[in-house]
Amino acid sequence: MNLTFDRKLSKNYKSASQKVRVLTEDWVDKTIFCPNCGHLDIDKYPNNQPVADFYCSNCREEYELKGKQNTLGVKIVDGAYRTMLERLTSSNNPNFFLLSYDLSDLKVTNFLVIPKHFFVPEIIEKRKPLAETARRAGWIGCNILLNSIPQTGKIFFVRNQQVELKEKVLAEWKKTLFLREEKDISAKGWLMDIMISIEKLGKSEFTLGDVYVFEKELNKLHPENKHIKDKIRQQLQVLRDRNYLEFVERGMYRVR
């Protein structure tokens, strides 16, 4: 996989933002395969498509591209807050491609996909309205909070300029597809919170007691639930039934 942008494409543009858009979109169009079906080529939609930037001609998955100079950080600036919340429950909510780049040598540093089934209201941060003096006074944008998404929902094609194997990308995508079947946004949010709690443990095998440590933290996230431990057990069973976790013995689990 070539990580260098095609420099000659930017010569016709004066605006730095236009140059970056052309370079990043061209690189994705020529380089990236579909993480859902493995199709070797994805296609770019015509400009000004209202929702997505790319689609797979084989499985019809759609992808929106977000680029950022240097590191990705913990937040990605996105569009209108209300529009984003509406998209979370729509049938045409796209997956997200996130790309970071080094502008000095015009190279990709990181490229990952966040499957659309990881997008819940809790990962969307409302920004302050634009000032009255702004051209779009009162407009409210949003940020995508990357640290509110489980690591398993950040599937890297390129990590720190190191290319991941295609087989690994496809396997990681397939591992969490069960979340797409969960139509209840609140239930999906619970599963993601338990995934994050398991990741915080930093070990492949853990006990039920290990996860109980996050009882207070989960109670803050879900104050309406008065039976947090019961909910933890329930969500671990769901993750086990979906082959995300393996049941080792009574009270002990293993991450697959």
- In the block, tokens 């082959």 appear at 243
Tell me the pLDDT tens digit for each residue of 10-61. 777 777 788 888 899 999 999 999 999 999 989 999 876 667 899 999 999 9
pLDDT of residue 91: 67
The CATH number of the domain where 139 resides is what? 3.40.210.30
Q: What distances in angstroms separate CA 191 from CA 102, 116, 214, 252, one per listed residue? A: 35, 15, 14, 18
pLDDT range class, residue 85, cuts 50, 70, 90: confident
Q: Which long-range contacts (CB under 8 A, 24 or more apart) does 222-230 make?
A: 222/190, 222/193
Q: What is the pLDDT of residues 128-183, one digit of tens each?
A: 999 988 888 899 999 999 999 999 999 999 999 999 999 999 999 999 999 999 88
Q: Which residues, in sequence order, are CB contacts of 56 under 8 Å at separation 6+? A: 34, 36, 37, 39, 42, 43, 62
Quick one: pLDDT at residue 25? 92
Given this model, what pLDDT does residue 253 score? Answer: 96
pLDDT, greater one: 90 or 101 = 101
At 231, which amino acid appears?
Answer: K
- pLDDT, residue 70, reads 84
Q: What mean pLDDT is predicted for residues 197-221?
A: 96
> Which residues is 78 bridged to in the sheet?
142
Are the C-beta atoms of 42 and 28 separated by less than 8 Å?
yes
CA distance linking residue 237 with residue 221, whole number of Å = 20
Residues 202 and 160 in one domain: no
In a shared domain, residues 105 and 206:
no
Distances in whole angstroms, Cα of residue 42 to Cα of each of 32, 53, 88, 117, 152: 7, 10, 23, 20, 23
Backbone angles phi, psi at 193, to 5 degrees: -65, -40
Within-domain flag for 178: no
Q: Which amino acid is at 169?
A: V
Q: What would the two tokens of residue 48 be?
A: 């000004």
CA atoms within 13 A on the CB side of 110: 18
The total domain count for the chain is 2
Average pLDDT over residues 192-219: 96
Query: Can you read off the two tokens belonging to residue 171?
Result: 């396997």
Between 79 and 230, residue with greater pLDDT: 230
Q: Are residues 50 and 159 in the same domain?
A: yes
Instruction: Look up the pTM and report it.
Output: 0.90
Percent residues over pLDDT 90 in the chain:
71
| Residues spanned by the domain of 193 | 185-255
For residues 96 and 210, membership in a common domain is answered with no
